[in-house]
Amino acid sequence: MRMHKGRLATLFGIAMGWLVVATVPCSAVLPDEMLQDAALEARARALSQELRCVVCQNQSIDDSNAPLARDLRVLLRERLSTGDSDRQAVDFIVARYGNFVLLRPPLQWNTLLLWIGPLLMLLIACLGFGRYVRASAARFAGAESSPQLSDKDLERVQAILEDGSSA
């Protein structure tokens, strides 16, 4: 059975459209959790996107549907409503669950390698590449001053070039 090109394209379009819709990251925040104050709610949203859900560890509490994530979202909003600064509200949760809940780990002694590791790798790679380039340049320069042909060899080369046949 033949399928219309147009219909196939439409189906493809629908499938792609659905794919896009299905993969758009959407938050798990329910309307009843939201704060009336839009500015406060915006702060809470921003903060909760930076906090890891301790149940499903690769999601933020903003993304996660886990009941504990919901509790933490509500708790965060409560703290902000009672006048906590962003820092205080986050610290309140960190005090209970540790630095692990911060999706962006703080820069401190035991996370130093995590932060500068990639730079360190790049540095090592650059140094290695530099060495390699210099070494091959030296080899090339060395080739220029390689032993000259002996007189006998030169004569043979000359002879080949002149009559096109090997001597």
Partner 1 sequence: MPRLQYLLPMAAFVPLIAGLAFSLGLDHRSLPSTLIDRPTPAFSLGALDGAREGLSSADLRGRVTLLNVFASWCAGCRAEHPVLMRLAAANELPIYGLNWKDRRTDGIRWLAANKSPYARVGLDESGRTGIDLGVTGVPETFVIDRSGRIRYRYPGPLTEEVWRELFEPLLKSLRGEP
Binding stretches for partner 1 (CB under 8 A)? 54-55, 57, 67-68, 71-72, 75, 94-98, 100
Secondary element (H or E) of residue 119:
helix 112-144
Residue number, 121 or 157, with CB nearest to partner 1: 121
| Residue corresponding to tokens 């059975």 | 1
Provide, rounded to whole angstroms, the least separation between the CB of residue 128 and partner 1.
9
Which residue, 40 or 55, has its beta carbon nearer to partner 1?
A: 55
Q: Which is nearer to partner 1, 34 or 75 (CB)?
A: 75
Give the separation between CA 95 and CA 112, rounded to whole angstroms.
21
Q: Are 114 and 123 within 8 A, CB to CB?
A: no
The torsion of the CA quartet 72, 77, 82, 85, rounded to 10 degrees, works out to 90
Q: In angstroms, what is the minimal distance from the CB of 110 to partner 1?
A: 12
Nearest distance in Å: CB 4, partner 1: 51
Q: Phi then psi for 52, rounded to 5 degrees?
A: -80, 140
Nearer to partner 1, 38 or 95 (CB): 95
